Chains A and B, each alone.
Chain A
Amino acid sequence: MAEPELLLDSNIRLWVVLPIVFITFLVGVIRHYVSILLQSDKKLTLEQVSDSQVLIRSRILRENGKYIPKQSFLMRKFYFNNQEDGFLKNTKRKVVPPSPMTDPSMLTDMMKGNVTNVLPMILIGGWINWTFSGFVTTKVPFPLTLRFKPMLQQGIELLSLDASWVSSASWYFLNVFGLRSMYSLILGQDNGADQSRIMQEQMSGAAMAMPADTNKAFKAEWEALELTDHQWALENIEEELMSRELDLDGMFSQELPTGIF
């Protein structure tokens, strides 16, 4: 039942596996910097900035409303959620779904995204396939069906070879997706070399239209605020404070440490 174990030349490890890892990694880093260079300035309108801040204020009201007196909390909740003229209830923003045809900047962004990400991947994948062809590179640790053979064993014409043995092109693609976490380690979050994130973005790109989001965000915020109650944090503050003596350590010294933070 044990399949015949293939012993690969250790030169393969030295001259194929490692160079492909290097190449993938370096190409990823270069992609990140190129995407930074090609980044177009996102001009935000006054309305967008203003709306995002209003949403933040409403969220803060929900989370930290317990630190202000009940009357003030109710006043603000009324301002946001009132039936007739509450801000969150009644403000409707014009919704213009940015389709690639109508919005020229979106089009150029998409093109730039494609050029920096998909094109290099195809080119380098093809080059690796051509350079490192004709031999088996590595073995994937799980068994695969025969269907995968033509895909993963590009240059190898052996009918009896296990589908787990793959060629260098598939090792390259494995690297492209595997090095994602390395990129976030080295380049920080949100870097331009993150392939799968970009592909995810492209798929959900149509649904991510910002203007429509604002109306939905307002509605979601309205609902959340309706549910919020005011639990005053200062209800028993005197008892809590006076349960013990004040900690006057370090008072009147030169370097005054400030409070909790």
Chain B
Amino acid sequence: MSKNVLIIVFTEMRDKLRKWREDNHRNSEQIVDVGEELINEHASKLGDDIWIIYEQVMIAALDCSRDDLAWTCLQELKRQFPGSQRVKRLAGMRLEALEKYEDASKQYDSILQDDPTNTAARKRKISILKAQGKSAEAIRELNEYLEQFVGDQEAWHELSELYINEHDYGKAAFCLEELMMTNPHNHLYCEQYAEVKYTQGGLENLELSRKYFAQALKLNNRNMRALFGLYMSASHIAASPKVNATVKKANVKYATWATNQINRAYQVSYARCLL
């Protein structure tokens, strides 16, 4: 009876890890808890799954500063896959976590020598620059990387973040446009683009931001940030002295509509609290 319970728990843990892996969750503490127990207690039952679980747990362990666990995972992977570039990248990540940036950089360079098309190593080198705070260099390297690999969406998003931190909103908007084109149904990119445009300021940008807040709302009716953004941009335009009467009227109408929706949302949340 107790053995049955143990088996059920084991499959549940393995499936949870797989779900987190596929959805790309970054809940490192949970992964370390579940993964460590799986590795220590149920290693034999996992079969070939164990290698990808080692990788997943190792990255989570690096996030949680669990060097011991990361080291054991790395040793197991090195033993099973000697000379693998994927394992080399993991070794480099561990050096990065220990802040040995020079050694990590050398590790990634050796990967790139064998295989110049390896994107993972190049991206890790850029993250080293980011970790060291050299954002100007990181931006430059990332631009060069994107010139070669125009389709890497993760990289475009990272570049937009770096530009926002440098307050270069025009270029950040360009990156977000790339993302919007490749993912036209993702309301979050529309909303982020609208926020960047709003921050840039100026009448044209405000109009654009209002339109993209509306698009984000159309894609996801429950995006409260976009709703507030719509209200802010519409009222900003209406309050600006440079607009003519028709535009002002239209924007006031938009702002009132947004206010009504916000009130409705608050009522819904109030009703839920009462339940």
Residue numbers of A with Cβ under 8 A of B are 44-46, 49-50, 53-54, 56-57, 60-61, 64-65, 67-69, 72, 233-234, 237-238, 240-242, 245-248, 250-253, 256, 258-261
Q: In the complex the two chains form, what is the Cα distance from A61 to B178 in whole Å?
A: 9
Q: Are B217 and A246 in contact (CB under 8 A)?
A: yes
Contacts of B177 in A (CB 8 A): 68-69, 72
The answer on a CB contact under 8 Å between A53 and B150 is yes
Closest Cβ–Cβ distance, residue B37 to chain A (whole Å)? 26
Residue in A closest to B176 when the chains form the complex, CB atoms: A68
Known: A60-B182, A72-B174. A53 touches B151 (CB 8 A): yes
Knowing A60-B182, A258-B220, say if A46 contacts B215 (CB, 8 Å): no
- Is A237 in contact with B150, judged by CB distance below 8 angstroms? no
Residues 214-257 (chain B) with a chain A CB within 8 angstroms? 214-215, 217-223, 227, 250, 254, 257
Query: Which one of B51-59, B159-167, B265-273 is at the A interface?
Result: B265-273
Known: A57-B151, A238-B214, A246-B221. A251 touches B265 (CB 8 A): yes
B211 at the binding interface (Cβ < 8 Å): yes
B16 within 8 A of A: no
Given contacts A238-B211, A241-B214, 15 further A-B contacts (CB under 8 A): A46-B116, A50-B150, A53-B149, A53-B152, A64-B181, A65-B181, A234-B215, A237-B214, A238-B210, A242-B257, A248-B221, A251-B269, A252-B269, A259-B186, A261-B186
* 24 residue pairs A–B, Cβ–Cβ below 8 Å: A46-B117, A49-B149, A50-B148, A57-B178, A60-B181, A67-B180, A67-B215, A233-B215, A234-B211, A237-B215, A237-B218, A238-B214, A238-B250, A242-B254, A246-B261, A246-B265, A248-B265, A252-B268, A252-B269, A253-B272, A258-B220, A259-B186, A259-B222, A260-B187
Q: Is the CB of A241 within 8 A of B264?
A: no
Which residue, of A247, A248, A261, has the highest number of chain B Cβ atoms within 10 A?
A248
Given A60-B182, A250-B222, A261-B185, verify A45-B117 contact (CB < 8 Å): yes
Query: Taking the nearest CB of chain A, how far is it from the CB of B168, in angstroms?
Result: 16
Q: Which residues of B contact A234 (CB under 8 A)?
A: 211-212, 214-215
Taking Cβ atoms with an 8 Å cutoff, the residues of B that contact A are 116-117, 148-152, 174, 177-178, 180-182, 184-187, 208, 210-212, 214-215, 217-223, 227, 250, 254, 257, 261, 264-265, 268-269, 272
Complex Cα gap A57–B178 (Å) = 9
Answer whether A241 and B272 are a contact pair too, CB < 8 Å, given A50-B148, A67-B180.
Answer: no
Residue contact B220 to A67, C-beta cutoff 8 Å = no
Chain B residues lying within 8 Å of A238, measured Cβ to Cβ, are: 210-211, 214, 250, 254
Evaluate whether A259 and B220 lie within 8 angstroms (CB atoms) in the complex, with A54-B150, A67-B180, A68-B177 already known.
Answer: yes
- Which of B148, B182, B220, B222: most chain A CB closer than 10 A? B222
* CB proximity of A6 to chain B, nearest CB, Å: 55
A252 and B272 contact, CB distance less than 8 A? yes
Residues of A within 8 A of B265 (CB): 246, 248, 251
Name the residue on B nearest A67 (C-beta).
Answer: B184
> Contacts A60-B182, A252-B272 hold; do A259 and B219 have CB atoms under 8 A apart?
yes
CB distance from B2 to the nearest CB of A (A): 32
B217: chain A residues within 8 A (beta carbon): 241, 246
Measured CB to CB, the nearest residue on chain A to B146 is A53
Cross-chain contact of A248 among B149, B180, B208, B268 (Cβ < 8 A): B268
Minimum CB–CB distance from A103 to chain B (whole Å) comes to 20
Q: Roughly how many angstroms separate A61 CA and B174 CA in the complex, as a whole number?
A: 13
Q: How far is the CB of B240 from chain A (nearest CB, A)?
A: 17
* Contact call B150/A49, Cβ cutoff below 8 A: no
On chain A, the residues within 8 Å of B116 by CB distance are 46
- A-chain residues with CB within 8 Å of residue B180 when the two chains form the complex: 64, 67-68
